[in-house]
Amino acid sequence: LFAVDFEPVGRRGKCPENHSLLECARNLNVDIVSICGGMSSCHRCKVQVISGDVSALTAEEKSALSDRELKQNYRLACLTYPKGNVKVHVPPESLTAPQRTQVEGLELDVEPEPPVLGLEVRAASPSLSNPESDDLALWAALVQHQVPRGTIDLSVQQSLSPQLRDLDWRVRVALRENEIVALGAPGTRWLGLAADIGTTKIAAYLVDMESGKTLASRGLMNPQISYGEDVVSRIFAAGKSVENAAKLQRLLVDALNEAAAAMCSEMNAEPSNIVEAVVVGNTAIHHLFLKLPVIQLGMSPYVPAVRSAMDVKARDLGLQIACGAYVHLLPNIAGYVGADHVAMLLATGISEATDATLAIDIGTNTEICLNHEGRMTSVSCASGPAFEGAHIKFGMRAAPGAIEHARLSGGKLEYQTIGGEPPVGICGSGLLDVVAQLRLNNVIAGSGRMGPHALVRKRDGMAEFVLVERADKEPITVSQKDVRELQLAKAAIRLGIRSLIESEGLPEERIQKVIIAGAFGTFIDVESAIAIGMLPPLPLERFSQVGNAAGTGARLALISQTQRLKAQEIAARDGYIELACIPDFNRKFAEASSLAGPVLQT
Question: Where do contacts with ligand FES occur on this chain (CB under 6 A)?
Answer: 22, 34-36, 38, 40-45, 76-78
Q: Write out the E strands in 141-213.
A: 151-152, 170-176, 179-184, 191-197, 201-208
Nearer to ligand FES, 43 or 564 (CB): 43
Whole-number Å distance between alpha carbons of 299 and 521: 29
CB of 38 to ligand FES, least distance (A): 5
CB of 57 to ligand FES, least distance (A): 14
Report whether 230 contacts 365 (CB < 8 A): yes
Nearer to ligand FES, 94 or 214 (CB): 94
Which among 353, 275, 288, 278 is positioned nearest to 321, based on CA atoms? 275
CB of 74 to ligand FES, least distance (A): 12
Residues paired with 426 in a beta bridge: 395, 403
CB of 465 to ligand FES, least distance (A): 22
Whole-number Å distance between alpha carbons of 538 and 55: 31
State whether residue 526 is helix, strand or coil: helix
Nearer to ligand FES, 15 or 152 (CB): 15
Strands 513-517 and 543-545 turn out to be parallel
Tell me the three-class secondary structure of 372-420, residue by residue.
ECCEEEEEEECCCHHHHCCCCCCECCCCCCEEEEEEEECCEEEEEEHHH
Report whether 325 contacts 277 (CB < 8 A): yes
User: Could you give the maximum distance between any two Cα atoms of the chain, in Å?
Assistant: 98
Nearer to ligand FES, 36 or 466 (CB): 36
Backbone angles phi, psi at 406, to 5 degrees: -150, 160
Report whether 496 contacts 368 (CB < 8 A): yes
Length of the chain: 602
Peptide bond between residue 8 and the one before it cis (omega within 30 degrees of 0): yes
Cβ partners under 8 Å of residue 371, min gap 6:
350, 351, 353, 356, 357, 359
DSSP class of residue 601?
Answer: P
Nearer to ligand FES, 59 or 471 (CB): 59
Angle in degrees, CA 451, 531, 201, rounded to 5: 105
Report whether 201 contacts 225 (CB < 8 A): no
Cβ partners under 8 Å of residue 328, min gap 6:
115, 276, 277, 278, 279, 309, 310, 311, 557, 558, 564
Nearer to ligand FES, 416 or 593 (CB): 416
CB of 523 to ligand FES, least distance (A): 16
CB of 44 to ligand FES, least distance (A): 6
Angle in degrees, CA 518, 519, 524, rounded to 5: 95
Report whether 32 contacts 95 (CB < 8 A): yes
CA atoms within 13 A of residue 394's CA, in its CB half-sphere: 24
Nearer to ligand FES, 59 or 242 (CB): 59
Nearer to ligand FES, 405 or 498 (CB): 405
CB of 23 to ligand FES, least distance (A): 11
CB of 301 to ligand FES, least distance (A): 50
CB of 248 to ligand FES, least distance (A): 45
Nearer to ligand FES, 47 or 235 (CB): 47
Nearer to ligand FES, 76 or 418 (CB): 76
Whole-number Å distance between alpha carbons of 433 and 531: 9
User: One-letter amino acid identity for 526?
Assistant: V
Nearer to ligand FES, 78 or 413 (CB): 78
CB of 107 to ligand FES, least distance (A): 27
CB of 222 to ligand FES, least distance (A): 34
Nearer to ligand FES, 191 or 413 (CB): 413
CB of 454 to ligand FES, least distance (A): 24
